[in-house]
Amino acid sequence: MKIYVLTAFPEIIKGCLDISMYKKAQERAGVEYKIWDLRDFANNKHRQIDDTPYGGGTGMVLKPEPFFLSFDKIKEENAGEKIRVIYPSPQGKAFNHDMAVEFSKERVLVFFCGHYKGVDERVIEALVTDEVSIGDYVLTGGELPALVIIDALIRHIPGVLHSYDSAKTDSFSDNLLEGPVYTKPAEYRGLKVPEVLLSGNHALVKEWRQKQRLERTKERRKDLYEKALQNNLSGGCHG
């Protein structure tokens, strides 16, 4: 998979991709990151990539040329390939687990990072396939959302995670939150690990864990809880 990120702030992205799971995706699954500076595609000698909005108003809008020009080059580099173009924006569709899984199956992904007041709408109309929001709050730019989306999707590329932390057992693959976990010591400053986990009874442990997941989801995320029940994935254990 090739992942292009077009941004006015390449340092934000580059600083992250050589670390941890982002790096493992390169080493274990042949993911290739291409971080391009939008200014390198400015069509003027001042390398200006933004301008004032038509019709007036505050803030600057990112010009169309850097996106169209860089996309021409991406098309050239990937002739005949399907290209998925993701534009992170608060106006987008809410990003979730299913979208992460879907994106992880693509061969060429492109992220257009907006800033300031947004990107000229013609870029979105003509080039963007997916406008995606990571939550109901406003961020300064699309760089962190792009990293969030990349993190969420590379976990689903075969070979990136080892089987013991397989994405198949993630929260959200069955709409339930994870339950609590504990490690040694069994008692710390008077705080005890639940007895059942020390029992060695695997069936009991399994049942307890599922109950914890259901209770936690019911309490914290009623919306997911209803979904889990509908999907009949509650394991017949309704706590």
Q: Which positions lie near ligand 6GU, rule CB under 6 A?
A: 88-90, 92, 132-135, 137-139, 141-142, 145
Q: With respect to ligand 6GU, which residue has the nearer C-beta, 10 or 142? A: 142
Q: For 28-60, give the secondary structure using H, E and C.
A: HHCCEEEEEEHHHHCCCCCCCCEECCCCCCCCC
CB of residue 118 vs ligand 6GU: minimum separation in angstroms? 9
Q: With respect to ligand 6GU, which residue has the nearer C-beta, 79 or 138? A: 138
Report the residue closest to ligand 6GU, judged by CB: 88
CB of residue 144 vs ligand 6GU: minimum separation in angstroms? 8
Q: Residue 31 corresponds to which tokens in the numbers above?
A: 């993911």
Q: With respect to ligand 6GU, which residue has the nearer C-beta, 143 or 170? A: 143
Residues 6 or more apart whose Cβ sits within 8 Å of residue 231: 174, 175
CB of residue 67 vs ligand 6GU: minimum separation in angstroms? 16
Q: With respect to ligand 6GU, which residue has the nearer C-beta, 103 or 225? A: 103
Helices 143-154, 97-104: axis angle to 10 degrees equals: 70
User: Checking DSSP bridges between strand 61-62 and strand 84-94, what pairing results, if any?
Assistant: unpaired
CB of residue 60 vs ligand 6GU: minimum separation in angstroms? 14
Integer Cα distance of 101 and 87 in angstroms: 17
Three-state SS at 190: coil
Q: Where do the H-state alpha helices sit in 78-194?
A: 97-104, 121-126, 143-154
Quick check: 64 and 123 in contact, CB under 8 A? yes
Q: With respect to ligand 6GU, which residue has the nearer C-beta, 29 or 99? A: 99
Q: With respect to ligand 6GU, which residue has the nearer C-beta, 147 or 157? A: 147
Q: Residue 57 corresponds to which tokens in the numbers above?
A: 């108003």
Closest CA to 7 of 39, 43, 46: 39
CB of residue 153 vs ligand 6GU: minimum separation in angstroms? 14
CB of residue 89 vs ligand 6GU: minimum separation in angstroms? 5
Integer Cα distance of 170 and 166 in angstroms: 7
